[in-house]
Amino acid sequence: MTKSLFLLLVAASAAASAAPPLTEPPPAVVEFSRALPAYFAELENYVASERTVQQVMREQTAMVFRSRVLESDYEVAHLGEDPSALWEFRFVRSVDGRKVDADRQMSDFFRLRQPSAAAERRSIVDLARQRSLPGYYWHNLTLALLAFGTETLGDFDWTPKSGQFAFRQTRGPGIPEDLFDPASPRHYPAGTIAFDPKGGWLSRLYLEWTSGERKARITMTFSRPAAPGEIALPRRYEAVHERRTSGAVVDRTTFEYSNFRRFTVTTDSETSGPGH
């Protein structure tokens, strides 16, 4: 048998054994998609402690040469000018261990309201960006999950993969490089989504896409619900940017969540969140 024929047979065997792509989203993903409105409605009831670590790397040595640590109060809420849209609010309490006047930020909350939803989004993002390293990445977890809403679920191709589902977006609007620029280039992500085999709750979501010379890799993990009927709360969100050609890490941001409290007039009542 010639080498070329052997390689052809191996490739044909691998293709035959690989799981075929699904023309329809898997039932577990469809159920998750339908439950998203109720999930977000419940997530709005919490405020959490968020620890953000921003790192800029020396590409030649993979060593950190600049970093920043932010401690914040974190919550999800609807925009005042667009009640159908969710956004994330961060009230930074300390930067590299130095306290900031977070109570002043919270008391001035309504100054964030703007005459348009786009301006309102900018004002909210700037609230945290002004404390961050220049040009640094800020995630919006709710936007990532909304990509799997019922209206956009058909934009993905699906493949079962070792107890999870691999996906690739092949149609639809895609992810914009700049959320605030309607003309921004858009990219189609790929990744995997995993659900707890016993409880069915979302446990892990991985996304990746390429933008110019950089590749983004996003990993989100969620905690087990504290009790029946409760939701899986965010535990950790990691964003890594690499050089597309060399694979060298350019920067990394991690967001860790703990101390989830029910959002009421006061936030003294703590519930069991990640790590509990």
Residue type present at position 58 = R
Domain count, the chain: 1
Residue type present at position 50 = E
pLDDT for residue 156 is more than 90: yes
Compute the average pLDDT of residues 160-171.
89
Asked if residue 52 belongs to a domain, the reply is yes
Asked if residue 84 belongs to a domain, the reply is no
Asked if residue 51 belongs to a domain, the reply is yes
Asked if residue 128 belongs to a domain, the reply is no
Tell me what pLDDT residue 8 has. Answer: 32
Three-state DSSP at 201 gives coil
Query: Which residue has better confidence, 88 or 189?
Result: 189
- DSSP percent split of the chain into helix, strand, coil, nearest 5: 25, 40, 40
Tell me what percent of the residues of the chain surpass a pLDDT of 90: 29
- C-alpha angle 206-41-123 in degrees, rounded to nearest 5: 75
DSSP-assigned letter for residue 165: E
Q: Tell me the Ramachandran region of residue 167: left when phi exceeds 0, alpha when psi lies from -120 to 50, beta otherwise.
A: beta
- C-alpha angle 213-214-220 in degrees, rounded to nearest 5: 165
Residue type present at position 70 = L
Tell me what pLDDT residue 270 has. Answer: 46
Three-state DSSP at 150 gives coil
How far is Cα 258 from Cα 53, in angstroms, rounded to an integer? 15
pLDDT for residue 103 is more than 70: no
Tell me what pLDDT residue 186 has. Answer: 81
How many residues are given for the chain? Answer: 276
Query: What is the domain extent for residue 179?
Result: 22-65+137-262
Q: Residues near 231 by Cβ (< 8 Å), separated by ≥ 6? A: 39, 42, 43, 201, 225
Asked if residue 161 belongs to a domain, the reply is yes
Q: What is the pLDDT of residues 28-78, one digit of tens each?
A: 999 999 999 899 889 988 999 999 999 988 877 778 889 999 998 888 877
- C-alpha angle 39-43-46 in degrees, rounded to nearest 5: 160
Asked if residue 44 belongs to a domain, the reply is yes
Asked if residue 28 belongs to a domain, the reply is yes
If you average pLDDT over every residue of the chain, what do you get? 78
20 — pLDDT class (breaks 50, 70, 90): low
- C-alpha angle 196-149-18 in degrees, rounded to nearest 5: 55
Asked if residue 272 belongs to a domain, the reply is no
Alpha-carbon torsion, ordered 221, 226, 229, 231, to 10 deg: -20
How far is Cα 148 from Cα 144, in angstroms, rounded to an integer? 8
Compute the average pLDDT of residues 222-232.
89
